[in-house]
Amino acid sequence: MKTWIAFIRSRTKSFGYAFKGIGILFRTQVNARIHALAVIVIVALGIYLELSMIEWAIIAMCMGMVLAAEATNTAIESIVDLVSPDYHELAGKAKDLAAGAVLLSVIFCGVAWSLIFLPKIWALIQISAGP
């Protein structure tokens, strides 16, 4: 019984640390706040356009991927700054690669979002334009 309680406490602490990390991400990273604003706009548009469950699943995975990439980028930048406070070519390369991962996730999610949203928006434009 004691180990079960210790396990639950350990998992609870782990979730606490994870939520603390999410808080740090949004408090300290302007780009994360921009991504969060984009999430709000995308969700509102998705509700308005009445996305299907599969479309919501794709949108949710994309939003999660972009935010996770941003968090990973922030973590890598923090570690690099800690271990290499002075400029070093490899430190710069690590930071550039992490930033590139965020950009790639945004580009590919933008493609997915476009494939989902643009036909629906185009259909609305066609309907409102009339015959």
State yes or no: is 70 an active-site residue.
Answer: yes
Alpha-carbon distance of 68 to 78, in angstroms, equals 15
* Active-site residue, from 50, 70, 77, 89: 70
Domain boundaries, the chain: 32-119
Give the model's pLDDT for residue 131. 66
* Architecture per CATH, 32-119: Orthogonal Bundle (1.10)
Tokens at 33, concatenated: 């706040």
Q: pLDDT of the chain along its 131 residues, tens only?
A: 678 888 888 999 999 999 999 999 999 999 999 999 999 999 999 999 999 999 999 999 999 999 999 999 999 999 999 999 999 999 999 999 999 999 999 999 999 999 999 999 999 888 877 66
Alpha-carbon distance of 87 to 72, in angstroms, equals 21
| DSSP tag of 85 | -
Give the model's pLDDT for residue 2. 72
Instruction: Indicate if the alpha-carbon torsion angle 63, 66, 69, 74 is positive or negative.
Output: negative
Q: Rounded to a whole number, what is the largest CA-CA distance in the chain?
A: 73
